[in-house]
């Protein structure tokens, strides 16, 4: 049986079709807007996790300021200690300087004396003597190779006297039938135990041991050109 569409039914179908198209557009729009909102939430969460609150910022600034204050106080104490040491050393030098007995020229570093006073002054003097000894090693040992010849144990003593002062130089040589690396290690160990040996023969050597252990540290260093002979 054939049916015919009435005008009312046709209008209803058109209205429903337009409603469905409109609703599908609304759903698509809402889905796109949901994606935008999700990206916005992610961005806000990232900003919230990386930015600090004003309380945290002020606390960090206060801690940093306190560290700077402590550092400045430590520097001020160091400056005051250095200033008092400078005044003490200047007074000591002025008290011991005697123009009437001064020899012409500059005194060598080997005539230096360790200051018997404040620990800081002794530390400065000890560091200076060690630096002079280290940097003067080459010049002090420059004549050793020419002073002794041969492969036998030997000792050579040279004394000079110019009327004002006397200089005594002792050069010793010993030859061991071992590789130079073994002899160098043995001499290294002997030099490190020298202080302990000296202290064992003294009645009270605790202050010297404490001073040396606090300010002096030995390092094993290979110096000089390699030699085919097992000579140290």
146 pLDDT more than 50: yes
Residue 169 covered by a domain: yes
Phi, psi of 108 (to 5 degrees): -70, 160
Cβ within 8 Å of residue 174, ≥6 positions away = 153
100 pLDDT more than 60: no
In this structure, are 196 and 211 located in the same domain? yes
Give, to the nearest 10 degrees, the angle between helix 206-215 and helix 119-135: 60
pLDDT-derived band of residue 32, with 50, 70 and 90 as boundaries?
confident
Higher confidence at residue 11 or residue 181? Answer: 181
In this structure, are 180 and 213 located in the same domain? yes
Residue 34 covered by a domain: no
Residue 181 covered by a domain: yes
Structure tokens given for 195: 């202080």
Residue 114 covered by a domain: yes
In this structure, are 150 and 135 located in the same domain? no
pLDDT at 218: 55
pLDDT in tens, 188-227: 788 777 766 766 666 555 555 555 555 555 555 555 555 5
Question: 169: domain range?
Answer: 144-174
Residue 61 covered by a domain: no
In this structure, are 188 and 222 located in the same domain? yes
Residue 23 covered by a domain: no
Our count of domains for the chain comes to 3
pLDDT-derived band of residue 73, with 50, 70 and 90 as boundaries?
very high
Residue 210 covered by a domain: yes
26 DSSP assignment: H
In this structure, are 136 and 148 located in the same domain? no
In this structure, are 199 and 148 located in the same domain? no
The domain boundary, picked from 123, 140, 157, lies at 140
pLDDT-derived band of residue 232, with 50, 70 and 90 as boundaries?
very low
Q: What is the dihedral of CA 91, 94, 95, 99, to 10 degrees?
A: 180
pLDDT at 105: 53
Cβ within 8 Å of residue 121, ≥6 positions away = 85, 88, 89, 115
In this structure, are 183 and 194 located in the same domain? yes
pLDDT-derived band of residue 68, with 50, 70 and 90 as boundaries?
very high
Residue 50 covered by a domain: no
């Amino acid at each position: 049986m054939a049916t015919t569409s009435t005008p009312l039914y046709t209008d209803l179908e058109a209205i429903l079709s337009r409603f469905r198209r409109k609703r599908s557009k609304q759903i698509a729009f809402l889905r796109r807007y949901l994606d935008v909102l999700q990206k916005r939430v992610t961005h806000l969460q990232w900003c919230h996790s990386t930015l600090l609150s004003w309380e945290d910022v002020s606390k960090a600034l206060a801690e940093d300021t306190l560290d700077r204050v402590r550092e400045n106080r430590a520097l001020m104490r160091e400056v005051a200690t250095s200033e008092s040491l400078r005044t003490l050393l200047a007074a000591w030098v002025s008290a011991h300087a005697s123009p009437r007995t001064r020899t012409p020229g500059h005194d060598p570093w080997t005539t230096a004396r360790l200051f018997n006073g404040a620990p800081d002054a002794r530390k400065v003097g000890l560091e200076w003597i060690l630096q002079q000894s280290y940097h003067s090693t080459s010049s002090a040992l420059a004549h050793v190779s020419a002073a002794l010849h041969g492969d036998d144990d030997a000792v050579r003593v040279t004394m000079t006297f110019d009327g004002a002062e006397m200089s005594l130089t002792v050069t010793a040589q010993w030859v061991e039938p071992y590789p130079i690396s073994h002899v160098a290690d043995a001499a290294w160990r002997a030099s490190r135990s020298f202080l302990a040996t000296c202290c064992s023969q003294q009645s009270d050597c605790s202050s010297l041991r404490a001073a040396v252990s606090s300010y002096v540290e030995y390092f094993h260093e290979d110096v000089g050109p390699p030699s085919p002979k097992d000579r140290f």
